[in-house]
Amino acid sequence: MIWTSAMLLATIMASISDRVDLSISKINSTTYRNLEKLVSKDSYSLVRTKDLGEFHSKSKCTLLSCLITKKSIFNEEYINLLEIREAYTGFKTGDGSAEIWRRIWEISNEDPLLPILVSGLQFSILTHLSAFHKKFFGTYLPNPTLFQKRFQDKHRLNFYLTYLLVRNCVGNITIDEQEMDEGLSAVIQTIKFQGSTNWVTQSVDLEKTIQRVEEMARLLKHISCEKCQLWGTIQLKGLRAALRVFSGSTNLERLERFFLINLFMRLSVSVKENIRLRRYRAPFLATVALYWMEILSFATSLLMIFLVSKIRNKFKSRITLKSCM
């Protein structure tokens, strides 16, 4: 009887989850393409390192996947976000990130709104690390086992609330006509046409909330992973910009719009990818395939080295034989 009730409850919850996924996915699809085109433009993909605030370019990270390539344009150092996907880097929680997250949660727990938003951001980060886990011949392969192991439904719901808040804030941006970008205008108009839903019902001191987000962003300088610093900084600064709009300051500066739009893009990607990752019926097989490809690549490399060595030795033997004759 208990087992039957549990199965029934699980079926009901799965049905509700599917409806929520479908609803958010439909909303997301209306802006996704225009948003994707928008962030491919230089104005939303190139960022000066000095505009990242306390972003430290000197990383202690020894992993190539943690490092960032920077470019010099007109004697200023830039980072091209199109070349740096938010993905798994191999950076371990024991290298300081767990402590940073602990301190971020300490700060967020002082606020009535931030626990939901931080939970949502953390879920989005997990989604990216799982969806873009290993790069194989230029293509990122997913790790659904990692995602499903860490997945909690309450965090998914918090993520959707975070997505909706950020989306609504993007729709409320006001920009002078001379600064208006056609792509951004299309995104804003689509959101306005659909209308917004304000799920924040209790009174919140948004000035203090914004200050706490700024405090969180300052913690990221202690992470010795450049990519982690980069995307963490962009998303927290984007969240700060969203909260400013939410508080009524809808006329953002150019850099604030940059961070907000890139945060919105990351959340939009997570809407698609988290649904895909949860739909894997046999995640273990996908993970095995993920590492078998690495093994195959390694074995192929060894075989090539062996063949080259054999050919070289054979060539040397012929030269030696000729010299003896």
Residue-by-residue pLDDT tens, the chain, 325 positions: 433 433 333 444 455 667 899 999 999 999 999 999 999 999 999 999 899 876 654 555 555 566 677 888 878 899 999 998 888 787 665 557 788 999 999 999 999 999 999 999 999 999 999 999 888 777 888 888 889 888 888 899 999 999 999 999 999 999 887 777 888 999 999 999 988 777 887 788 999 999 999 999 999 888 878 888 899 999 999 999 999 999 999 899 999 999 999 999 999 999 999 999 988 876 666 666 666 656 677 778 778 887 877 777 776 666 665 555 5
Task: Note the pTM of the prediction, 2 decimals.
Answer: 0.82
**Distance in angstroms (rounded) separating the CA atoms of residues 93 and 254:** 34
303 and 295 Cβ atoms separated by less than 8 Å = no
The three-point CA angle 50-53-59 to 5° equals 80
Q: Could you give the 3-state DSSP secondary structure of residue 76? A: strand
User: How many Cβ atoms from other residues are within 10 Å of residue 235's Cβ?
Assistant: 23
**Distance in angstroms (rounded) separating the CA atoms of residues 240 and 218:** 13
Burial of 258 (0-12, 13-18, 19+ CB in 10 A): buried
**Distance in angstroms (rounded) separating the CA atoms of residues 157 and 163:** 10
Nearby residues of 87 by Cβ (< 8 Å), 6 or more positions away: 65, 128, 129, 132, 133, 135, 140, 227
Q: Tell me how far the alpha carbon of residue 67 is from its chain's centroid.
A: 16
First-last CA distance in the chain: 91
**Distance in angstroms (rounded) separating the CA atoms of residues 141 and 88:** 10
- Please report, for residues 34, 122, 195, 313, the alpha-carbon distance to residue 188 in angstroms, rounded to integers and kept in the order given: 10, 26, 11, 66
**Distance in angstroms (rounded) separating the CA atoms of residues 63 and 78:** 21
Q: For residue 178, what pLDDT is reported?
A: 77
